[in-house]
Structure 1
């Protein structure tokens, strides 16, 4: 059998090579494509309600849905990131001027350690707050030098993120606008029965909605509870630690428990009531 003068096997080989090249071109944008598809699945009911209110104006409904997504997802994220940057600057300033309770915390911690642990820390020059601060300062200096030397890579990464974000919004618009038609084309191209195809897509949509909504809701709840508990306990940088808790809760299995060490130093400073607040929020 010949297809446009080529044998069938050679034609299949060409299609395979072109497909690999196509996926290689798309490889830098896999995450943008995936998140566009997930957001389209999650917010498609919202778009349908807006379209009904606008008199079946599908394009305008998709555009308004993207505006809503930016308002309820990206705007709060930008506010949190700006607050996080302020908290990081505040913590850095206090560390730079030695305006912290770090020496007291370290002294209390060492007093409760067994002898073998104190000997181990002494062998590695970590038996005093001054030595620990010096090593942290050296590490921060090296990190700053590395970041300064990697300015081009950081700029490249920022540009790549901006491009990926734009691609995600562009693709999200068309997935919201023409999503049902595109899904129908994909399902028709699959060599499966109609029941299996419909069931497969329904399962994918349900799992995507449940996974994203559940993970994000749990992360936000843990971060909000933890930040509020740290604020009640009187810790500096409560927004910073709350955001860190929200991020760490996305790590499977162990993420939520990583912050327990941060609240453990409160009872060591003879403030057991303050120590209970973060620990209670972590338990919740």
Structure 2
């Protein structure tokens, strides 16, 4: 090969390496730019995948993608926001009532009488009274809890902005979904068939994760509500629905309801019922999420349960609430890319 040709090849390789480095740096910077919006982006994409058929149906009726997307976003917001308001109102009200009840029981000494009825716990009461000014401590804690719970459930300004951002992004993902898919096909280094397969697998993963989460949440709410009914707690159907909705939210769950309920039972002297509720909540309601969700997601995606478990739980640990979707999606993308690499390697060997 002539020297000039070798220099040209070296220059081409150098430019290719520089381009790869620039692309890698750009991807990292883009990720850092998008990181603050990652939860909103994730849930907007998930909702757009779930409601694309509805958007398509609206477009067929209205013949205007923008108007159809507006109507779809309003409907989706209604489906999502109404349960949040429903749960929020009940939790705020019950938090205030519960805090007042605890404060009253401590101030009147009713909690001490309940413990005195259990001789084995009398020493615990003495120790608590020796170490703490219990009425003052409880009053401070209940005031803090009521204020914090109300602010958390009703939503801070940041939460309102994040919620609004989800629906803002959702509008564009629905309206411009064909353009987004076309851009992905154009930019992807994979063939059109490979890219289409990758997108379909990601769609299936999102649907499986969301539907699996909904099924598990319904089961958790049902099991917790049944225990409330069996223990004679008030409004078991209502609180079962509330716990089911809370179970959908990553980092929250049914424990937000059953832990205070167990505390109330203990303060009333129903120690056996309180212990039963705690054990049921921890060992059954709390554990079924981590056990059943990976099984459902794994079956829907034809993944081994261990891989599904790692993708869901590891995703939550790595990405926070958005990891519920991102964990399985990352695993799916990696799996598909490995399958493509294996297929190409087999084709290369076959042509030699």
**TM-score between the two structures when normalised by the length of structure 1:** 0.68
> What does residue 206 of structure 2 align with?
208
CA contact (8 A) 1:62 1:177 kept: yes
CA contact (8 A) 2:214 2:248 kept: no
For 1:88 and 1:142, locate their aligned partners in 2 and report how far apart those are by CA, in whole Å: 10
For 1:244 and 1:206, locate their aligned partners in 2 and report how far apart those are by CA, in whole Å: 27
Q: Which of the pair has the greater relative contact order for Cα pairs under 8 Å at 6+ separation?
A: 1
For 1:111 and 1:58, locate their aligned partners in 2 and report how far apart those are by CA, in whole Å: 71
2:38 to 23, 30, 38: 30
Corresponding position: 1:53 with 2:51: no
Secondary structure at 1:191's aligned position in 2? Answer: coil
Counting only pairs closer than 5 Å after superposition, residues 101-250 of structure 1 correspond to structure 2 as 102-103=111-112, 106=115, 111=119, 125-126=127-128, 133=134, 137=138, 140=141, 158-223=156-221, 225-227=223-225, 229-230=227-228, 233-235=231-233, 243=242, 247=246
Structure 1 unaligned runs (5+)?
none
Structure 2 unaligned runs (5+)?
1-7, 289-352
Corresponding position: 1:62 with 2:69: yes
CA 1:247/1:59 → structure 2, altered by over 3 Å: closer, same or farther?
same
> What does residue 89 of structure 1 align with?
96
Post-superposition offset of 1:122:
7.7
> What does residue 270 of structure 2 align with?
269
Q: How big is each residue's C-alpha offset from its partner over 1:191-214, in whole Å with a ceiling of 9 and x where there is no partner?
A: 223332222211111111121122
**TM-score between the two structures when normalised by the length of structure 2:** 0.56
CA contact (8 A) 2:69 2:174 kept: yes
Post-superposition offset of 1:87:
0.4
Post-superposition offset of 1:73:
1.3
> What does residue 333 of structure 2 align with?
none
Corresponding position: 1:74 with 2:81: yes
For 2:182 and 2:208, locate their aligned partners in 1 and report how far apart those are by CA, in whole Å: 23
Post-superposition offset of 1:243:
3.8
CA contact (8 A) 1:87 1:240 kept: no
CA contact (8 A) 1:249 1:256 kept: no
Secondary structure at 2:81's aligned position in 1? Answer: helix
Query: How much is the aligned-residue C-alpha RMSD, in angstroms?
Result: 4.7
CA 1:47/1:256 → structure 2, altered by over 3 Å: closer, same or farther?
same
Secondary structure at 1:209's aligned position in 2? Answer: helix
